[in-house]
Amino acid sequence: MSEYDKLDQNELEEEVVEAPAAPEKAEKKSKDTDKKADKKAKPGFFARVGKWFKEMKSELKKVQWPTKKTVVKNTGVVIACVIVVGVFIWVFDLLANSVVGALLRLFG
């Protein structure tokens, strides 16, 4: 092996060495302190509700609200579609009712 290869191998061996494992008690203690910190850092109910309303207000300011003309136009389209679908359902019901009535008179 050349000098260069030996140096590379030594560097690789140094990287492979693992750090010693920390005792479980220290880990458990840090978890307890994290839980206490979370409880202290968590805002109260009314603070969270107030924050929610502020964020909602800022989001509603970003909304592009439709104009009155657009609302009236879209409402007219919806009403027309409801009437057309209602007429189709009425015609289908009328036809189905007459077919069933004719079959009952024929076989009944």
- Is the pTM here over 0.75, yes or no? no
pLDDT digits (tens, 9 = 90+) for 12-61: 555 555 555 555 555 566 666 666 666 667 889 999 999 999 999 999 99
How many CB atoms within 10 Å of residue 81? 10
Q: Rounded CA gap, 72 and 65, in Å? A: 13
Average pLDDT of the segment spanning 77-106: 97
Domain limits of the chain? 65-108
Residue 72's pLDDT band (cuts 50, 70, 90): very high
pLDDT at 86 over 90: yes
The phi-psi region of residue 28 (left if phi > 0; otherwise alpha if psi is between -120 and 50; otherwise beta) is alpha
Q: What is the DSSP letter of 55?
A: H
Average pLDDT, the chain: 82
Q: Report which of residues 89 and 6 the model is more confident about.
A: 89
Residue 108's pLDDT band (cuts 50, 70, 90): confident
